[in-house]
């Protein structure tokens, strides 16, 4: 290419949808820069100078190179940072196409039947639904939808609790062992699988408003000593629910303990398993 006659304005700017720059590291962009920069130096300043150490020609000709190719590349930081910045901008402008081993087909479509079998074998309660999203091939996001009313009124076992809390790690292991996938960068042809650690509790707010606030809290405050409760706070950490009793500052420890014990009995009598709804102070 004759760099003297190169016109950056003739380059057609387009959105490079098949390239995801976040998949690439500074090393990749430095390689892009070097691939274009050293030949440019030889073309502009001669073969001898173009063969000088990279550190020298970058220090001498970096700004001239960026100006000719209309690159805004950072002028601060060390040589490596500047080269990476210039290389990345060259890709964005369409001056260089990065190699990619990205899959064309979607993981969730290719392994649809296998995924269904692996999810079924988790033997989860019927109030749990696993969802997968894959807008880009091999970039998979998993999440859990929970029917809150069924969950909070269930008699979930310890084994089911363990299975629910291990969904992410179990699926990762099973995808690798039974589907033969390897994890890593999608642009390297690998699977990037991320799973939300927080379940989506469907119907939780309505239950809090109509059941907890209007029924449970009122009945707890009506038990002997319940008038000493200042407030009842609802706390949830994933699948662990706690009703925290906050007592008046003048309420003694023994009274707090007695009221808390009675509140636990009341919640259990209302049909809620202490494994699901814990009462504490």
> What mean pLDDT is predicted for residues 63-68?
92
Residue 19's closest CA among 77, 98, 93? 98
Q: Return d(Cα 59, Cα 82) in angstroms, integer.
A: 10
pLDDT classification of 75: cutoffs 50, 70, 90: low
- The region of weakest confidence among 46-50, 99-103, 110-114 is 99-103
pLDDT digits (tens, 9 = 90+) for 256-274: 999 999 999 999 999 998 8
pLDDT digits (tens, 9 = 90+) for 204-253: 999 999 999 999 999 999 999 999 999 999 999 988 899 999 999 898 99
pLDDT at 12 over 80: no
Is the separation of the CB atoms in 140 and 107 below 8 Å? yes
Token pair belonging to 9: 């304005």
Bridge partners (DSSP) of residue 146 are 128, 201
Report pTM.
0.70
pLDDT digits (tens, 9 = 90+) for 178-214: 999 999 999 889 999 999 988 999 999 999 999 999 9
What is the dihedral sign for C-alpha 19, 22, 25, 26? Answer: positive
Confidence (pLDDT) at 19? 53
The mean predicted confidence, pLDDT, of the chain is 88
Share of the chain above pLDDT 90, in %: 68
Token pair belonging to 155: 């008699």
Residue 125's closest CA among 107, 105, 95, 145? 145
Torsion angles phi and psi, residue 129, rounded to 5: -125, 130
pLDDT digits (tens, 9 = 90+) for 122-148: 989 999 999 999 999 999 999 999 999
Q: Return d(Cα 163, Cα 144) in angstroms, integer.
A: 13
Q: Which domains does the chain have, with CATH numbers?
A: 3-92 (no CATH), 107-202 (3.30.300), 204-280 (3.30.70)
Is the separation of the CB atoms in 191 and 175 below 8 Å? yes
Pairing of strands 128-136, 277-280: unpaired
Residue 55's closest CA among 36, 34, 24, 25? 34
């Amino acid at each position: 290419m004759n760099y003297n006659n190169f016109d950056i304005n003739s380059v057609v700017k387009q959105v490079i949808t098949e390239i995801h720059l976040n998949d690439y590291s500074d090393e990749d962009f430095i390689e892009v820069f070097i691939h274009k920069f050293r030949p440019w130096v030889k073309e502009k300043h001669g073969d001898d100078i173009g063969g000088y150490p990279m550190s020298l020609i970058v220090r001498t000709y970096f700004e001239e190179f960026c100006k000719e190719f209309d690159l805004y590349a950072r002028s601060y930081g060390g040589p490596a940072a500047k080269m990476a910045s210039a290389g990345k901008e060259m890709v964005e402008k369409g001056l260089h196409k990065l190699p990619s081993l990205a899959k064309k087909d979607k993981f969730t479509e290719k392994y649809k039947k296998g995924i269904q079998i692996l999810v079924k074998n988790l033997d989860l309660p019927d109030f749990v639904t696993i969802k997968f999203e894959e807008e880009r091939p091999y970039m998979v996001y998993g999440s859990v939808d929970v029917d809150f009313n069924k969950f909070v009124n269930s008699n979930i076992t310890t084994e089911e609790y363990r299975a629910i809390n291990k969904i992410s790690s179990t699926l990762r292991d099973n995808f690798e062992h039974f589907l033969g996938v390897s994890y890593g960068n999608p642009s390297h042809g690998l699977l990037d699988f991320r799973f939300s650690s927080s379940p989506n509790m469907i119907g939780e707010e309505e239950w809090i408003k109509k059941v907890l606030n209007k029924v449970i809290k009122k009945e707890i405050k009506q038990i002997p000593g319940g008038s000493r409760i200042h407030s009842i706070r609802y706390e949830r950490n994933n699948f662990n629910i706690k009703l925290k009793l906050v007592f008046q500052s003048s309420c003694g420890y023994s009274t707090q303990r007695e009221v808390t014990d009675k509140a636990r009995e009341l919640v259990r009598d209302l049909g809620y398993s202490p494994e699901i709804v814990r009462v504490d102070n």
